[in-house]
């Protein structure tokens, strides 16, 4: 089934591991050119690119760097001539400690990096999508925004901010063509990089889930690809839970 991604260009931030690598390979499997970004895991990102083949481009991207968004988009355009889909997956985590003990410079950097990084990159790709009359924005978030967790105050604050941003962006872009903006809200997901977390709390989430199990990164990737594809024409400005029902 053709879902309208052949020859389109997709930027997936944070694609060197975890959910990101599965999202990147899933878009490539649909015929898209994929720009994979990493901050420090160059070798891991290159492994993903090698798996994809000629359709992949690896670019270093640090969302905390104000100039990184424009440079990333310029690299994508130079290589493929376009940007059709943006998946804001890159994230910075804080230490799980009492929130009132975190120094100002640390929590402000965490919030600003996660929020401003996604906003800057969205701003950078928007003119290309407006000009083409087609585009998909998918911002990855976490069920911790609604569930809450001690020690996650600044991470969840940043992710919650993206919910409001995406909703308003949907209204801003909706009359300019087939342009959609959504949030994919992830729960605890089984990946190759979070086995320690799954071992600690996975059983709790499995018991809460209607499926009786955790979903894995490939299942999340399928949902994200659909949201970012031409098959999706009506889901817009929404926060879509990709949690298995937990």
Place of tokens 């400690």: 97
- 178-195: b (≥16 Cβ within 10 Å) or e: bbbbbbbbbbbbbbeebe
What is the Cα–Cα distance from 67 to 128, expressed in whole angstroms?
18
Q: Where are the beta strands (DSSP E) in the chain?
A: 9-12, 33-38, 56-60, 85-88, 134-142, 178-186, 189-190, 215-216, 239-242
Q: Which of 159, 166, 181, 205 is catalytic?
A: 159
- Annotated active-site residue 159? The verdict is yes
Q: Which of 16, 143, 166, 229 is catalytic?
A: 143
Q: Which of 155, 166, 205, 229 is catalytic?
A: 155
Q: Is the distance from CB of 137 to CB of 180 less than 8 angstroms?
A: yes
* Residue whose C-alpha is closest to residue 23's, from 200, 246, 189: 189
- Annotated active-site residue 155? The verdict is yes
- Annotated active-site residue 203? The verdict is no
Residues annotated as catalytic (active site), given as ranges = 143, 155, 159
């Amino acid at each position: 089934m053709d879902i309208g991604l052949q020859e389109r260009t997709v930027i997936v931030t944070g694609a060197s591991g975890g959910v990101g690598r599965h999202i990147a390979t899933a878009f490539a499997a649909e015929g898209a050119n994929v720009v994979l970004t990493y901050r420090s895991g160059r070798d891991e990102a290159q492994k993903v690119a090698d798996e994809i083949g000629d359709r992949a481009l690896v670019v270093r991207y640090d969302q905390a760097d104000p100039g990184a968004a424009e440079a990333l988009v310029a690299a994508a355009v130079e290589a493929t001539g376009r940007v059709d889909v943006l998946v804001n997956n890159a994230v910075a985590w804080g230490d799980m400690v009492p929130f009132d003990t975190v120094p100002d410079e640390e929590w402000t950097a965490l919030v600003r990096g996660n929020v401003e990084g996604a906003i800057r990159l969205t701003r950078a790709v928007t003119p290309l999508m407006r000009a083409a009359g087609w585009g998909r924005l998918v911002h990855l978030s976490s069920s911790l925004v609604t569930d809450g967790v001690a020690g996650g105050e600044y991470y969840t604050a940043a992710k919650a901010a993206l919910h409001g941003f995406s909703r308003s962006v949907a209204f801003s872009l909706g009359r300019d063509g087939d342009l959609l903006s959504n949030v994919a809200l992830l729960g605890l997901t089984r990946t190759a990089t979070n086995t320690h977390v799954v071992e600690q709390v996975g059983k709790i989430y499995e018991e809460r889930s209607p499926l009786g199990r955790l979903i894995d990164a490939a299942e999340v990737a399928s949902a994200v690809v659909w949201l970012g594809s031409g098959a999706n024409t009506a889901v817009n400005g929404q926060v879509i839970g990709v949690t298995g029902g937990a």
